[in-house]
């Protein structure tokens, strides 16, 4: 089918369709709604705590009781789900990240508190060891090498603990080989057949994660870098191989991370697999927009909404973002 527009100027004037608001709305090819958001929230132990994150103006570390309030706000705004991430003090971290499998850790306590008061909200948990290790890596470290299979064994236990606490989605972000299949088997064996897996399938070794590492207490902790397990930003075909493997192992949905620098990956993944595809607008993307807006260099609200719309235009089914509540309020305002 020939998709080339028929006719030419002056008979064809594309500005006719852009001339009025009602027409622009009718012609819009991409729609953004509150249903598209997963609100990224950082937790910290305490009570009544809303601790500002310096590198992410407008984002706070929330104690579990404050996270419950955020969940109520999300429900009222029409946001379907929250993604929770834990801050861990340096002195509470260990080489093996043992607190990741503690059924009474911060993540699990927050999940139980939220589900007790807002049972209808979806909850997503990262499956990875980096918030809990004293070296800042997502897996076990031995003589400078990240151990794949030994790490996967721990990740399975972590996912089961999270499912037991009430998380609806476990999201392995570690990029270990074979972890999705192992987690699916572990969840099913433990009776959590209905818990979803959203695989961080195409997660790149990106410079855009810096503010997040401050947010969860990993800044200054990381030894070396993560390039032996996270993807090379130069690669695209490899992303399709990673996504294909994760779907074959039982992932219910897949994620591309970061977001804006990787819109081409989102498009390729969606077109190749037609699977539920999510994108993470990471901390560095958030911080750039917020900082530029605070300096008066751009219109922060418009830049926020434009960036979120771009993810949908690229093919994403949903967006994990720190902007979720703010963007939802803009959408409700109309």
Average of per-residue pLDDT across 260-286: 98
According to DSSP, residue 204 is labeled: B
Confidence label for 76 from pLDDT (cuts 50, 70 and 90): very high
Structural domain spans, the chain: 31-333
Convert the pLDDT of each residue in 174-225 to its tens digit.
999 999 999 999 999 999 999 999 999 999 999 999 999 999 998 889 999 9
Question: What CATH homologous superfamily does 31-333 map to?
Answer: Aldolase class I (3.20.20.70)
Nearest to 259 by CA among 299, 286, 232: 286
Residue 48: count other Cβ atoms within 10 Å of its Cβ.
8
According to DSSP H, which parts of 36-134 are helical?
Answer: 64-77, 106-117
Q: What is the pLDDT of residue 219?
A: 83
Q: Which of 44, 115, 226, 257 is catalytic?
A: 257
Confidence label for 33 from pLDDT (cuts 50, 70 and 90): very high
Number of residues that this document lists for the chain: 334
Q: Which of 203, 226, 270, 312 is catalytic?
A: 203
Q: What is the pLDDT of residue 63?
A: 98
Confidence label for 149 from pLDDT (cuts 50, 70 and 90): very high
Q: What is the pLDDT of residue 151?
A: 98
Dihedral angle at the C-alpha atoms of 149, 90, 105, 130, nearest 10 degrees? -30
Evaluate if pTM is beyond 0.75.
Answer: yes
DSSP letters for 180-236? HHHHHHHHHHTT-TT-EEEEEEEEB--GGGHHHHHHTT-TTT--S-STTTSBPTT-S
Does the active-site annotation cover 226? no
Return d(Cα 321, Cα 331) in angstroms, integer.
15
Confidence label for 1 from pLDDT (cuts 50, 70 and 90): low
Angle at 183 between CA 94 and CA 45, to 5 degrees: 40
Return d(Cα 48, Cα 57) in angstroms, integer.
19
Relative orientation angle of helices 64-77 and 324-333, to the nearest 10 degrees: 30
Q: What percentage of the chain carries pLDDT values higher than 90? A: 95
Q: What is the pLDDT of residue 334?
A: 79
Nearest to 158 by CA among 146, 171, 147, 145: 171
Return d(Cα 254, Cα 2) in angstroms, integer.
33
Higher pLDDT, 175 or 334: 175
Does the active-site annotation cover 203? yes
Nearest to 141 by CA among 200, 210, 233, 225: 225
**Lowest-confidence pick of 33-42, 215-224, 295-304:** 215-224
């Amino acid at each position: 089918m020939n998709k080339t527009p028929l006719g030419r100027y002056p008979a064809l004037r594309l500005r006719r369709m852009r001339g009025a608001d009602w027409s622009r709305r009718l012609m819009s090819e991409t729609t953004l709604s509150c249903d598209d958001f997963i609100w990224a929230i950082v937790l910290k132990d305490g009570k009544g705590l809303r601790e500002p994150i310096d590198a992410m103006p407008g984002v706070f570390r929330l104690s579990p009781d404050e996270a419950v309030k955020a969940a109520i706000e999300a429900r009222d705004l029409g946001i379907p789900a929250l993604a929770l991430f834990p801050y861990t003090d340096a002195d509470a971290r260990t080489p093996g990240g043992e607190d990741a499998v503690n059924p009474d850790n911060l993540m699990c306590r927050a999940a139980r508190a939220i589900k007790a008061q807002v049972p209808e909200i979806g909850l997503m948990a990262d499956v990875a060891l980096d918030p809990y290790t004293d070296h800042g890596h997502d897996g076990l470290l031995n003589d400078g090498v990240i151990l794949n299979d030994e790490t996967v064994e721990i990740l399975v236990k972590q996912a089961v603990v999270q499912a037991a606490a009430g998380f609806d989605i476990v999201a392995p972000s570690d990029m270990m080989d074979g972890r999705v299949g192992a987690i699916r088997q572990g969840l099913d064996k433990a009776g959590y057949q209905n818990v979803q897996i959203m695989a961080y399938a195409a997660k790149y070794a990106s410079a855009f994660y810096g503010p997040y590492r401050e947010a969860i207490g990993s800044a200054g902790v990381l030894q070396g870098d993560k390039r032996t397990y996270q993807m090379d930003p130069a690669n695209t075909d490899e992303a399709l191989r990673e996504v294909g493997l994760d779907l074959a192992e039982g992932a219910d949905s897949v994620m591309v991370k970061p977001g804006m620098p990787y819109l081409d990956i989102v498009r390729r993944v969606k077109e190749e697999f037609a699977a539920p595809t999510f994108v993470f607008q990471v901390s560095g993307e958030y911080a750039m927009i917020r900082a530029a807006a605070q300096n008066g260099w751009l219109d922060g609200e418009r830049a926020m909404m434009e960036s979120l719309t771009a993810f949908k235009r690229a093919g994403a089914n949903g967006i994990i973002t720190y902007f979720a509540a703010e963007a939802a309020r803009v959408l409700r305002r109309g």
